[in-house]
Amino acid sequence: MRVLVVEDEKRLAENVARALRESAGYAVDIAGDGEEGLYLAESSNYDLMVLDLMLPKLDGQSLLTQYRKKGHATPVLVLTARDEKENVVRLLNEGADDYVSKPFDLGEFLARAKALVRRGKGQRSPVLSVADLQLNTIERTVKRGQKEIALVPMEYRVLEYLAHRPRAVISKSELLEHLYDYNWEKFSNVIEVYISGLRRKIDSNYAVKLIHTVRGHGYVLRPERERT
């Protein structure tokens, strides 16, 4: 998953980004003002925007209003020091999905961020299931049947993205866009490497295969019995 953090307080932005990367395994981009935030939000597909209200150049509420008017549906979690009822109501009416008031508990922030990502993908439960495969997105663990499967971090991130949209064909470019931030070094076959590793760990020795390549289109997570 890929998150945009729009926050002008550098230390806070870096702490939030670090928490999202280390505790949730998300790719994170940071914008230091509202104009840059709006540009990035409209230039890439994000799974969540974390938005401060008190921003230079373009305030957070104006950014949110313009972003929603253009039809963007990415979940938005607002960071605000203004917790009066009328401000909260205004934010929700403008299209915010949730908010936390500064100073906030980092654990609560992460829980709210993960919940919004799940809802944005149409998932309510933190446990994603496809056939006998289960991903616990809180603990970041994977099981097939009763067997626990150890994945490297990027293998898990690829699998989690596919599991959020089971039976949908996901292109290689979409995976790259949602799993890496702007600073990643581009290697053309990186997704193929992780898909190969996932097949070896998840589908090996099972008659029902879960990870499939749709030639010319991408990858899909769905159960299909092995042909004999």
DSSP states of the chain as a string?
Answer: -EEEEE-S-HHHHHHHHHHHHHHH--EEEEESSHHHHHHHHHHS--SEEEEESS-SSS-HHHHHHHHHHTT----EEEEES---HHHHHHHHHHT--EEEESS--HHHHHHHHHHHHHHHTT--SSEEEETTEEEETTTTEEEETTEEE---HHHHHHHHHHHHSTTS-B-HHHHHHHH--TTPPP-TTHHHHHHHHHIIIIITT-SEEEEEEETTTEEEEEEEEPP-
Which domains are present in the chain? 2-120 (3.40.50.2300), 127-225 (1.10.10.10)
The confidence score (pLDDT) of residue 189 equals 78
Residue 199 binned pLDDT confidence (cut-offs 50, 70, 90)? very high
- Prediction pTM value: 0.84
Summarised one tens digit per residue, pLDDT across range 11-39 is 999 999 999 999 888 999 999 999 999 99
